[in-house]
Structure 1
Amino acid sequence: MMTIPRQLLHPRYWPTWLGVVCMFVLATLPQRANYLIGCFLGDLFYRFAGRRRHIAATNLALCFPELGEVERRALLKQTMRNQGIGLMETLRTWFTPVERLGVTLELVGERYLDEAEGGVIVLGSHFTSIDVGGALLGRRFPSDSFYRRQKNPVLEWLMSRARGRYGEPIHRRDFKRALKRLRQGHRLFYLPDQDYGRKSADFVSFFGVPAATTLATTTLAKSGRAQVVFVDQQRLDRGRRIRLEFIPLADIPSDDPTRDAQAVMAQVEKNIRRAPEQYMWVHRRFKTRPPGAEKVY
Structure 2
Amino acid sequence: MQLLIYRLVYPILWIISKLPWRLFYMFSTCVYIFVYHIIRYRRKSVTENLVLVFPEKPKKEINRIRKAFYKHMCDMFLEMIKSISISDKDLLDRFKIIDIESLKELESKNKSIVVMMTHYASYEWSTVTQLLIDFPTVGVYKQIKNKYFDQLVHRIRQRYKARLIPSYKAMKEITKDKINGKLCSYAFLSDQSPSLAKATYWTDFMGIKVPTHVGGAVLAKRLDMSVAYLHVEKVKRGYYQAKFIPITENAKNCEDFYIVKTYLRMVEEQIRKAPEYYLWTHKRWKHRNAEIPKDATID
Shared fold by TM > 0.5?
Answer: yes
Deviation at 1:77, TM superposition (A): 0.7
Deviation at 1:232, TM superposition (A): 0.9
Contact 2:2–2:146, Cα closer than 8 Å, also in 1: no
TM-score, length-scaled by structure 1: 0.86
Of 89-98 and 99-108, more deviation after overlay is shown by 99-108
Query: 2:271 is matched with which residue?
Result: 272
> Is 2:146 the counterpart of 1:152?
yes
Q: Could you tell me the percent identity over the aligned residues?
A: 23
Query: 1:184 is matched with which residue?
Result: 182
Query: 2:97 is matched with which residue?
Result: 107
Segments of 5+ residues of structure 2 without an aligned counterpart are 293-299
Segments of 5+ residues of structure 1 without an aligned counterpart are 1-10
> Is 2:148 the counterpart of 1:138?
no
Return closer, same or farther for 1:130/1:186 CA change in 2, 3 Å cut-off.
same
Alignment of 1:7-26 (within 5 A): 13-26=3-16
> Is 2:81 the counterpart of 1:85?
no
Aligned letter for 2:182? Q
Separation of aligned partners in 1, 2:5 and 2:66: 33
Contact 2:113–2:186, Cα closer than 8 Å, also in 1: yes
Alignment of 1:51-130 (within 5 A): 52-101=42-91, 103-116=93-106, 117=109, 118-130=111-123
Contact 1:124–1:191, Cα closer than 8 Å, also in 2: yes
Separation of aligned partners in 1, 2:36 and 2:177: 41
Separation of aligned partners in 1, 2:94 and 2:264: 28
> Is 2:247 the counterpart of 1:249?
yes
Separation of aligned partners in 1, 2:98 and 2:266: 16
Contact 2:115–2:227, Cα closer than 8 Å, also in 1: yes
Contact 1:203–1:290, Cα closer than 8 Å, also in 2: no
Deviation at 1:126, TM superposition (A): 0.6
Return closer, same or farther for 1:102/1:176 CA change in 2, 3 Å cut-off.
closer
TM-score, length-scaled by structure 2: 0.85
Once the two structures are superposed, residues 140-178 of structure 1 have per-residue CA deviations (whole angstroms, 9 ceiling, x without a partner) of: 235210122223232122111111223101111112113
Query: 2:235 is matched with which residue?
Result: 236
Aligned residues: 281
